[in-house]
Amino acid sequence: MLILGIETSCDETSVAILEGDGRVRANLIASQIERHQPFGGVVPEIASREHLQHLMPLVERALSDTGTSLDSVTAIAVTSGPGLIGALLVGVAGAQGLAYGLDIPLVAVNHLEGHIYSPYLQSNGPALEVPERGLSIVVSGGHSSVYALSRDGRIVMINRTRDDAAGEVFDKVAKFIGLPYPGGPHVERIGREGDASRFKFAVAQLKGDTFDFSFSGLKSNAIRIAREEGLHQHVAEPDAKRAGTLADFCASFQRAIGDQILDRLTRIWSAMESRPDELPTELALAGGVAANGALRERIAAWCGERGIAPRLPEKKFCTDNGAMIAFAGIKKIASARDPLRVEARSRMQVGT
Ligand code: KG4
Ligand code: ZN
């Protein structure tokens, strides 16, 4: 099997070619970040236009870079949602045209499913096996959820966020202090030199019997502290004192996001411990925020304490990419349908 993966749900156009065992032949990404940066976030109309410009040239490049002929592609996988509807439509229409023209199956992939399977991809060699029982946490710009996975492809959603996603909070707080979009990598870079214990944030606890995340209180507190410390001014060229405060702030805020993630994981794990035979053997971290080095270290340590394996994706598979869509497509190949019946949808859930 040779599968072409197409991802256009947000601000990255990406095309990948994977072999049936998950080996990545090509994974090209045309990032639009610079086009959206002046606006401090993704502008949907610009995203759609950029996808239109880049999609087919990327398909051609992925084929020519790998010496693959279009005729040898046996299936196409495309993100059909969730995401920006105009952006999704470009990818879906392109995939439909190709699949219809080549008379090959088209698999509609939920973007989140792509993220969930991304930690099993490798730059070199076939994909790793999904464990019999695994936990997966997806933390991206649009989603924050923990899932239970099984090898047979069953996905059960254990929690979700009640308000903002983890990446969204990184981006909003970063924007407030004048850092470029997307803010997560900048917060991480600046926070590297900082003291994570300087600013205190409480871990949000929700009423009732729930493992859900809630990041909006953390966002408001971070913005209040940033204002009190004058961090929203002159951040581009801070003086020495403000540079120190900025680093401490970024480190503390990043730590607080990780604190909530680990709090929920710990509570979910405690609830699972009553059925030791069914405990997961691996925890996979996925989504753009999975690129965060401090979070990766903490997740690895958390797994170590519980004797389970951390599955941390290579950084290029954390943020949006076509390889993860093609890989999820391989897993769902049985659900391929008539290309013309695939529909783009801006809102979609994954799992039960
Ligand atoms: O998965 P992704 O590329 O797009 C969505 O599906 O949302 O995730 C993008 C998000 C952004 O919010 C970005 O700030 C965040 O991932 N991100 C990071 C890092 N790299 C990307 N957050 C924290 N630390 C990073 N190193
Ligand atoms: Zn994503």
Instruction: Convert the pLDDT of each residue in 211-255 to its tens digit.
Output: 999 999 999 999 999 999 999 875 667 778 889 999 999 999 999
CB of 105 within 6 A of ligand 1: the answer is: no
Lowest mean pLDDT among 19-23, 129-133, 229-233, 269-273: 229-233
Q: How far is the CA of 292 from the centre of ligand 1 (A)?
A: 8
CB of 145 within 6 A of ligand 1: the answer is: no
Question: Is 3 in contact with 323 (CB distance < 8 Å)?
Answer: no
**Closest ligand 1 atom number to CA of residue 143:** 7
pLDDT at 234: 57
What is the identity of the amino acid at 302? W
Confidence of residue 152 (pLDDT cuts 50, 70, 90): very high
The pick from 173, 319, 324, 348 for probing ligand 1's pocket by mutation, whose C-beta has the most ligand atoms within 8 angstroms, reads 319
CB of 114 within 6 A of ligand 1: the answer is: no
Q: How far is the CA of 253 from the centre of ligand 2 (A)?
A: 22
CB of 182 within 6 A of ligand 1: the answer is: yes
* Nearest protein Cα to ligand 1, atom 23: 184
CB of 288 within 6 A of ligand 1: the answer is: yes
Q: How far is the CA of 324 from the centre of ligand 2 (A)?
A: 10
CB of 183 within 6 A of ligand 1: the answer is: yes
Lowest mean pLDDT among 27-31, 73-77, 151-155, 183-187: 151-155
The pick from 289, 299, 318 for probing ligand 1's pocket by mutation, whose C-beta has the most ligand atoms within 8 angstroms, reads 289
**Closest ligand 1 atom number to CA of residue 111:** 6
Mean pLDDT along residues 132-147: 97
- 101-120 burial, b at 16+ Cβ within 10 Å, e below that, comes to ebebbbbbbbbbbbbbbbbb
Confidence of residue 287 (pLDDT cuts 50, 70, 90): very high
Q: How far apart are CA 99 and CA 76, in angstroms?
A: 7
- 294-311 burial, b at 16+ Cβ within 10 Å, e below that, comes to bbbebbeebbeeeebebb
Other Cβ atoms less than 10 A from the Cβ of 191: the count is: 22
pLDDT above 60 for 171: yes
Q: How far is the CA of 289 from the centre of ligand 1 (A)?
A: 4
What is the identity of the amino acid at 49? R
Confidence of residue 333 (pLDDT cuts 50, 70, 90): very high
CB of 141 within 6 A of ligand 1: the answer is: yes
Q: How far is the CA of 317 from the centre of ligand 2 (A)?
A: 10
Q: How far is the CA of 297 from the centre of ligand 2 (A)?
A: 21
Question: Is 81 in contact with 349 (CB distance < 8 Å)?
Answer: no
pLDDT at 236: 65
